[in-house]
Amino acid sequence: MSRIRNFRRITRTLRFRLTLGYTLFFCLMLIAVGAIFWQKLATSLDAQIRDGLEQEWAAAKGYLRIEKGVPTWYFDHYDPDESLMVGRIQRVYMLADAQGNVLQMSETYKSIGADSHADIAAVMRSPQPGWKVRKNDKGVSFLIHAGAIYDEDHDKEYFLAIGRSLADNHLILDQFTWTYIGVIPLVIVSGCLLGWFLAARALTPVLEVAQAANRISGSNLSLRIPSRGAGDELDYLIVTFNRMITRLENSFNQMRQFSTDVSHELRTPITAIRGQLEVALFTGSTIEQYREAMLNSLQDIERLSQIVRALLLLSQAESGQLALQKTRLDLCRLVADVVDQFQIPYEEARLRLSADLPQECCAEADRIQIERMISNLLSNAMKFTPAGGEVRVRLRNEGQEVELVVEDTGRGIAPDHLPHIFDRFYRMPGHDASDPERGLGLGLSFVAWIAKAHQGTVRVESTPGEGSRFTVLLPAATNSSHAAEGAGIPVASGMKET
Ligand code: ADP
């Protein structure tokens, strides 16, 4: 039972299948090559014999005289060539008159049997001598060249047939076939062994890669498969695999960081609520003290639910559950509206907010998400720009794209922090946990996700102490999307200062 299982296991291996395929291919090639050679050999042997018979036929016409029905061979008996030729012709030959009466016939021809009257008549009718294969009583085949010869002196036609044994040809072909068949198993066995060995050589590195890959687990994602330096397909596979592990490691690290951040974010307000309630419970004596503790706790609870809401939204967005409702959107109008909403908070923070908008600027986008994106950028700019500063919003058509820029004269972002500000929960140091201005560190993650979900990009340039510029590029609406245009989209005014 276990032997059968072992055999099945081996037959499923790539090594076995490669060897089998290789051997089968080898066999087919061998059979095809053998068949072609056999055919070529048979054709050339046949052509050789036919050439000889044609020469003999022509010579026979010259040497043969038939006087009053008696055939006589005229040739120089002292000439070895002529004697040889006549001797060869006379080995297998038959001469008959037009009526089919045999005039002369060699012993060998007798073993084949004289041609029938009907056959002779058919040959005499044909303008050219013909070919046929006949067997003698021992089963030996002969190629016969038969036709009419004309006796001009007596104006008579005779039937002449000469032939040659095909036994030698058959012997050569049989020898070739059996030698070839004898060699095939040898070739197959050596082909199998070679295939098995080559497959093992080709697959050993694959097994090594698999073993190395096996050692990589969630807890040691820092392991890499060493490259063999051969620069072949396997090295390419190793490089690709290593890159995949790097990506996995990054996502694992991000996930780990994310859970640490989330627990930290949730723990801070929970600890605060607990502390306030404990203090009120054990030391509070007046209604005012209880009220204050409850108010503070409510603020922290609000922050908690803000975090939970934001996390839920982000996870929905990243898992693709947040479907975008794209329509042809008049961005000029939308930006103007959001900027309007921010005017009062900006005034309270003693900041100037202006918008530079073109005549028309449309994108195929989700209104709610784009509004959220602009709001996040504007609230960041407000938070991180000191009083007296200025924030400018600019919208521009850039060919196939729409460019939205939010530029401030705030505190800027140090180059070390720039690559991380789009990460979840990333905040630049400077605000401690009790700071009311301290955000969740999720705003820019949303901005990045919204831009990406619209096949757009977002980039940031910043100089510490001078200000930051966030640039969002979104694909512009195509003309074909006019049909979907909302009925009430008004044409935006020119340059708008708010
Ligand atoms: P937060 O909720 O803290 O604003 P964000 O993801 O929106 O989170 O921003 C991440 C960090 O990027 C902020 O904590 C801040 O340090 C920095 N940042 C974002 N926008 C600006 C800006 N306009 N000027 C300076 N720093 C900024």
pLDDT, one tens digit per residue, over 109-148 is 999 999 999 999 999 988 899 999 999 888 999 999 999 9
pLDDT of residue 481: 52
Distance 100 CA to ligand 1 centre (A): 119
Q: For residue 396, which amino acid is it?
A: R
pLDDT in tens, 422-463: 988 787 776 555 555 567 788 998 899 999 999 999 999 999
Question: Strand, coil or helix: what is 441?
Answer: coil
Length of the chain equals 498
pLDDT of residue 479: 67
Cα-based angle 480, 484, 489 (whole degrees, multiple of 5)? 110
Question: Strand, coil or helix: what is 473?
Answer: strand
Q: Best substitution site from 427, 435, 449 to test ligand 1's pocket, by max atoms within 8 Å of Cβ?
A: 427
Q: Rounded to the nearest 5°, which phi and psi values hold at 185?
A: -60, -40
CA–CA separation, 345 and 348 (whole Å): 5
CB within 8 Å of 463: residues ≥ 6 apart: 412
CB within 8 Å of 184: residues ≥ 6 apart: 27, 30, 31, 34
Nearest CA to ligand 1 atom 20: 380
Rg of the chain over Cα atoms, rounded to whole angstroms, equals 51
CA–CA separation, 342 and 351 (whole Å): 11
Distance 482 CA to ligand 1 centre (A): 36
Long-range CB pairs of 84-93, under 8 A, 24+ apart, other chains included: 85/56, 85/59, 86/59, 88/56, 89/56, 89/59, 89/60, 89/63, 89/162, 92/142, 92/144, 92/162, 92/163, 92/164, 92/165, 93/60, 93/160, 93/161, 93/162, 93/163
> In the numeric block, which tokens belong to residue 451?
């831009």
pLDDT of residue 33: 92
CA–CA separation, 391 and 375 (whole Å): 13
The angle, 0 to 180 degrees and rounded to 10, between the axes of the packed helices 287-318 and 443-453 is 30
pTM: 0.52
CA–CA separation, 114 and 105 (whole Å): 8
pLDDT of residue 493: 27
Nearest CA to ligand 1 atom 18: 380
**Residue 359, strand partner residues:** none
Q: Best substitution site from 353, 378, 384, 425 to test ligand 1's pocket, by max atoms within 8 Å of Cβ?
A: 384
Give me the numbers of helices (H) and strands (E) for the chain, helices first please: 11, 14
Nearest CA to ligand 1 atom 23: 381
pLDDT of residue 257: 77
pLDDT of residue 405: 97
CA–CA separation, 492 and 484 (whole Å): 18
Q: Best substitution site from 420, 421, 422 to test ligand 1's pocket, by max atoms within 8 Å of Cβ?
A: 421
pLDDT of residue 11: 83
pLDDT of residue 5: 81
Long-range CB pairs of 108-114, under 8 A, 24+ apart, other chains included: 108/136, 108/142, 108/163, 108/165, 109/161, 109/163, 111/136, 111/137, 111/138, 112/136, 112/142, 112/144, 112/163
pLDDT of residue 27: 87
In ligand 1, the atom with minimum distance to the C-alpha of 411 is 25
pLDDT of residue 49: 95
pLDDT of residue 436: 53
Give the chain's residues under pLDDT 70: 1, 430-438, 479-498
